[in-house]
């Protein structure tokens, strides 16, 4: 009896491995120090540019991500499943833009010292300017901005 159950488990596991979905189209753009990189795939794109003393990184997994880091700053953008993420940083700032799902857009700017994060889900738009109140609309989204000590939340 044990051999039959064990053998069936192996067969089911093997069938599940054979039916695994194709890997998503992805691009990776790390840009440490003074550098610039861009990649384009069938359904994904990324670009990252950074000045000396900074770092930018953008990752597109079936999405489009752009990160630009000015001097002495960090910038991160991650887009997946049709999302669009943009992050731009100035001195001593560190914005992180994450957009996941169709119609998701996260657009973050670092213009003052401090960190900021924006996460947009399907259909959401999340915007952080670094000088005003962050805006979350259109779908599930969140932003926290330590440049202005403000944030937003959208639950729909």
Q: How far separated are the first and last CA of the chain, in Å rounded? A: 51
In a domain, 4, yes or no: no
- Please give the average per-residue pLDDT across 125-132, as a whole number: 98
Min mean pLDDT across 17-31, 34-48, 90-104 is at 17-31
In a domain, 108, yes or no: yes
- Please give the average per-residue pLDDT across 120-125, as a whole number: 99
User: Where does residue 132 rank: exposed (0-12), middle (13-18), buried (19+ CB within 10 A)?
Assistant: exposed
Q: Is the model's pLDDT at 21 over the cut of 60?
A: no
In a domain, 7, yes or no: no
Confidence of residue 22 (pLDDT cuts 50, 70, 90): low
Min mean pLDDT across 23-32, 52-61, 80-89 is at 23-32
In a domain, 11, yes or no: no
In a domain, 1, yes or no: no
In a domain, 35, yes or no: yes
Q: Is the model's pLDDT at 15 over the cut of 90?
A: no
- In what side-by-side order are the strands of the sheet with 35-40? 35-40, 45-50, 64-69, 84-89, 105-110, 125-128, 135-137
In a domain, 76, yes or no: yes
Q: What is the mean pLDDT of the chain?
A: 89
- Please give the average per-residue pLDDT across 121-141, as a whole number: 98
In a domain, 72, yes or no: yes
- Are 69 and 51 spatial neighbours (Cβ–Cβ below 8 Å)? yes
Predicted structure pTM score: 0.85
- Determine what percent of the chain is predicted with pLDDT higher than 90: 83
Q: Is the model's pLDDT at 19 over the cut of 60?
A: no
Domain count along the chain: 1
Place of tokens 């840009």: 31
Q: How far apart are CA 46 and CA 86, in angstroms?
A: 10
Determine the pLDDT at residue 23: 73
Domain that holds residue 62: 24-154
- Write out pLDDT tens, residues 49-82: 999 999 999 999 999 999 999 999 999 999 999 9
């Amino acid at each position: 009896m044990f051999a039959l159950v064990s053998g069936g488990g192996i067969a089911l596991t093997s069938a599940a491995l054979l039916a695994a979905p194709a890997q998503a189209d992805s691009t990776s753009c790390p840009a440490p120090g003074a550098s610039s990189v861009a990649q384009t795939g069938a359904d994904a794109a990324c670009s990252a540019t950074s000045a000396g003393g900074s770092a930018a990184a953008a990752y597109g997994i079936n999405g489009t991500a752009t990160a630009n880091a000015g001097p002495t700053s960090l910038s991160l953008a991650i887009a997946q499943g049709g999302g669009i993420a943009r992050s731009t940083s100035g001195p001593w700032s560190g914005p992180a833009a994450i957009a996941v799902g169709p119609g998701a857009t996260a657009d973050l700017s670092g213009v003052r010292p401090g960190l900021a994060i924006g996460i947009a889900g399907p259909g959401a738009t999340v915007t952080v300017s670094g000088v005003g109140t962050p805006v979350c609309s259109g779908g599930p989204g969140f932003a926290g901005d330590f440049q202005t000590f403000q944030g937003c939340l959208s639950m729909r």
